[in-house]
Amino acid sequence: MSSKIDTLASTIEARFGASLQRRISTCGELTYEVSGEQLLSVCQTLRDDAEFKFEQLVDLTGVDYSEYGRVEWSTQESTSTGFSRGVTRSDAVVSDVQTPRFAVVYHLLSVTHNVRMRLRCYCSHGEPPLIDSVTGVWASANWFEREAFDMFGMLFHNHPDLRRILTDYGFIGHPFRKDFPLIGNVEVRYDPEKGRVVYEPVSIEPRVLVPRVIRDDNRYETALKTPVIPVSK
């Protein structure tokens, strides 16, 4: 990391102590975890304190950790062969670490100091997952929190207008939950006889779109490769 990020990390850890726990980031960004009880006070300080001045909430997103720790790929880097990196499901590794299923990640920007950081806070256990709204700290959180509510089913305490923002008002379920069926539950079409859109049980058959196991691929069988014969000019 740059010296600016290292300096910011030292300042944050000196200011908050055990209130923030630093987490490893594979993309080299400064990432901390905060408890739900201290979320609002920490966010307020990060926005107002002259040492931080994170005036802007760039993004807010939900995360579903229901499959966290299940390793079905052997690396974190892409290759030209794609699914050749996979492992068989019987060899998949499942983590024993028990954490709340849902978390919210906040992407913060300090225009004053030209630095960024990420903050993660787990929602409460149980259903529905509950977390405090940060709309009182950053007004831009309004629609972001509505999206997380719509897609993940997270409830944001003290949000001024928590309702669906992407799906229909009568939609049932939350599409970004990892247990939500990829084909959905219902489909819609226009019924010319009724003169309106109607909802019907989904008729699409589920398909596996992403290979999740190692497969034999004859493209790499040397016996099947045709020798290249140079053409003379």
pLDDT tops 50 at residue 18 = yes
* Kind of pairing between the strands at 115-122 and 56-64: unpaired
3-state secondary structure at position 46: helix
The per-residue pLDDT for range 209-228, each reduced to its tens digit, is 555 555 556 665 666 666 65
**33 DSSP β-pair partners:** 21, 120
| Measured CA distances, 224 to 80, 140, 227, 229 (Å) | 20, 58, 9, 15
Which residue type is seen at 213? V
Residue pLDDT, tens place only, 96-145: 556 789 999 999 999 999 999 999 999 998 889 999 999 999 999 999 99
Confidence of residue 202 (pLDDT cuts 50, 70, 90): confident
State residue 131 phi and psi, 5-degree precision.
-155, 155
CA–CA distance from 127 to each of 101, 102, 154 (Å)? 10, 10, 9
- Beta partners for residue 156, in sequence order: 131
Query: For residues 34 and 180, which has the higher predicted lDDT (pLDDT)?
Result: 34
Domains and their CATH numbers in the chain: 3-65+100-173 (3.30.460.80)
Query: What pLDDT, on the 0 to 100 scale, is given for residue 124?
Result: 92
Question: What's the chain's average pLDDT?
Answer: 82
Q: Does residue 167 surpass a pLDDT of 80?
A: yes
Contact 113, 16 (CB under 8 A): no
